[in-house]
Amino acid sequence: MPFPRILITNDDSIHAPGIKHLWNALKEMADLTVVAPAHEQSAVSLSITIRQPLRIEKTEWSHDAKAWSVNGTPADCVKMALNVVFKEPPDLIVSGINCGSNSGRNVLYSGTVAAVIEGIMHNIPGIAFSCCENQNPDYRTAEKYVPAIVQHVLDYPMPAGTLLNVNFPCHAPNGIQGIKMAAQGKEYWMENFSERIHPTAGHSYYWLGAKLAEFEEDEESDVALLRKGYISAVPIRVQELTDHHYIRAHKALFEKLLAIK
Please indicate, yes or no, if residue 195 is contained in any of the structural domains. Answer: no
Q: What pLDDT is recorded for position 260?
A: 65
Q: What pLDDT is recorded for position 208?
A: 75
Containing structural domain, residue 123: 5-186+216-259
pTM to 2 decimals? 0.92
Please indicate, yes or no, if residue 208 is contained in any of the structural domains. Answer: no
Residues 6+ apart with CB under 8 A from 252: none
Please indicate, yes or no, if residue 95 is contained in any of the structural domains. Answer: yes
Please indicate, yes or no, if residue 169 is contained in any of the structural domains. Answer: yes
Q: What pLDDT is recorded for position 215?
A: 67
Please indicate, yes or no, if residue 29 is contained in any of the structural domains. Answer: yes
Q: What pLDDT is recorded for position 209?
A: 72
In the chain, how many domains are there? 1
User: How many other CB atoms sit within 10 Å of the CB of residue 63?
Assistant: 8
CATH code of the domain containing 61: 3.40.1210.10
167, 130 Cβ separation under 8 angstroms: yes
Alpha-carbon distances, residue 68 vs 8, 143, 167, 169, 253 (angstroms): 10, 22, 26, 30, 53
Low-confidence ranges of the chain (pLDDT < 70): 1, 188, 190-191, 212-213, 215, 260-261
Q: What pLDDT is recorded for position 261?
A: 61
Please indicate, yes or no, if residue 206 is contained in any of the structural domains. Answer: no
Q: What pLDDT is recorded for position 4?
A: 95
Please indicate, yes or no, if residue 13 is contained in any of the structural domains. Answer: yes
Q: Which of helix, strand or coil describes residue 178? A: strand
